[in-house]
Amino acid sequence: MTAFSTIVALAPLYLLILAKKSGLARQVARNEPKLPPSDGAGVAIAQPILSGDPRLGEVLGDNLRELPAARFLWLVDLDDLEAQRICNDLATRNPRTKIETSLHAQPPEGTNPKLWKLEAARAAGIAEPVFLVLDDDTRMPGPTLAALLQALETHPLATSLPGYLDDGRFPSRLLAQFVDNNAALTYLPLLPFLPPLTINGMAYALRVKKLNEIGGFAGMLGALTDDLAVAEAVLCRGDTIFQSARPHWVQTTVRDGKHYFQLMHRWFLFALLLLRKQPLQIRATIGLLHALPPLLLLALVITSALVPSTAGVAVLIATLALRGLGLASLQRAIYGRVLEAPLSSLISELLQPFHLLHAVFLRRIVWRTRRYKVQDDRHFTAIE
């Protein structure tokens, strides 16, 4: 097979998978009704908070303004004086909003620090019917919360779709492009055929009654992947998860290239832990839809570079153009705006096979302020 025939074989297959996934994602999004925004009434919003990101106060403040009727539970480390200062300052400047800041010691060895805080908040008593978990870098729009609240009428657990905002720097843009180009294409296309396997841990809502019935987060404290642990606790009881096509917005300051690779390594390792628990048929389907396209694109680019020809380069350029148009169109439908940055988007996808290999062979992650050695999602140890 010549280089050109290889390119001609790879390009249509890549575009076919992209078009099929995009069409299914659009179908799911169209079928979900748009609702008037919620102001957060009846919702307790729990946010485990750690300082270090310069946008922390800005993101927390945006949620206060967007959801003024909610009750905010800010869960802060006992020794995190900067986070305490930010939370106290926001509480002082927003006296009409229900804000409760609680301080928490470091969890015992082998305990998930996020779930440790969430269980403390739940055990203290939640009067509201809905418990919404938000990461401290996540903004929850009122319309998206409304979609989650409606879903909780028929499902005990609901999650929304992440959209990433970058700060203009290259590492941040790479991370944002990974999420923005893959979230809708990962979470939505299988929904017509397969119920959600997990949730997006950045933003999810539970009925408090159901949360208490499953014993809160206490039985999950030994899990490394908190989102998978919460999903499994619900699914194993025969209940279902609702995956909304409505976005929540995430903005993390990615300090440099090293920080970018640490984040991507953790995310890919968590994805592998999820896949390991699935039946072979589901693993094969997910591999075909999500792992194969970046490999096809990488093979297409390498073949075009190693054996260049006018016709081959023309096919590559056409493929990349159609890819960009497809992603931009889908993002406009899902997020209401185009988030794709062509060069960063391409580099992000080409790096995905390397992130996958990194996660397969290196089982040590950096999470927040600590390093962990990971055996599986229930066995991990802190490394000094």
Rounded Cα distance between 24 and 92, Å, is 46
Encoding tokens for residue 333?
A: 């439908």
Rounded Cα distance between 59 and 56, Å, is 5
Q: Are the C-beta atoms of residues 158 and 204 closer than 8 Å to each other?
A: yes
Q: Which residue, chain included where needed, has tokens 């879903």? A: 151
Which pLDDT score is estimated for 371? 77
Give 27: exposed, middle or buried? Use CB within 10 Å, 0-12, 13-18, 19+.
Answer: middle
C-alpha Rg value of the chain to the nearest Å: 21
Residue 1 clears pLDDT 70, i.e. is over it? no
Higher pLDDT, 365 or 149: 149
pLDDT band for position 379 (50/70/90)? low
Residue 89 clears pLDDT 90, i.e. is over it? yes
Rounded Cα distance between 268 and 275, Å, is 10
Nearest to 208 by CA among 46, 35, 37: 46
Mean pLDDT of 333-346: 94
Q: Which residue, chain included where needed, has tokens 């990962």? A: 186
pLDDT in tens, 353-374: 999 999 888 888 776 667 777 7
Which pLDDT score is estimated for 316? 94
Residue 86 clears pLDDT 90, i.e. is over it? yes
344 phi, psi to nearest 5 deg = -65, -35
Which pLDDT score is estimated for 225? 86
Q: Are the C-beta atoms of residues 202 and 138 closer than 8 Å to each other?
A: yes
144 phi, psi to nearest 5 deg = -70, -40
Strand order in the sheet with 130-134: 98-104, 71-77, 43-49, 130-134, 203-207, 157-164, 241-250, 138-139
Out of 3-12, 54-63, 111-120, 307-316, which region has the weakest mean confidence (pLDDT)?
3-12
Out of 15-19, 83-87, 109-113, which region has the weakest mean confidence (pLDDT)?
109-113
pLDDT band for position 352 (50/70/90)? very high
Q: Are the C-beta atoms of residues 126 and 209 closer than 8 Å to each other?
A: no
**What share of the chain has pLDDT > 90, as a percent?**
72
Which pLDDT score is estimated for 134? 98
| Strand ranges inside the chain, DSSP E | 43-49, 71-77, 98-104, 130-134, 138-139, 157-164, 203-207, 241-250, 364-367, 370-376, 379-383
Nearest to 273 by CA among 226, 317, 325, 311: 226
How far are the Cα atoms of 98, 183, 218 from residue 122, in angstroms, in the given order? 16, 29, 10
Which pLDDT score is estimated for 74? 98
How far are the Cα atoms of 6, 105, 143, 244, 325 from residue 33, in angstroms, in the given order? 43, 42, 11, 10, 26
Nearest to 63 by CA among 131, 166, 135, 128: 135
Which pLDDT score is estimated for 367? 65
β-pairing, 130-134 vs 203-207, is: antiparallel
Which pLDDT score is estimated for 308? 84
β-pairing, 43-49 vs 71-77, is: parallel
pLDDT band for position 325 (50/70/90)? very high
Residue 376 clears pLDDT 90, i.e. is over it? no
End-to-end CA distance of the chain: 52
Which one-letter amino acid corresponds to residue 131? F
Which pLDDT score is estimated for 109? 81
Mean pLDDT of 33-56: 95
Encoding tokens for residue 106?
A: 């470091």
- Quickly list DSSP for 246-287: EEEEE-----SHHHHHHHHHHHHHHHHHHHHTS-HHHHHHHI
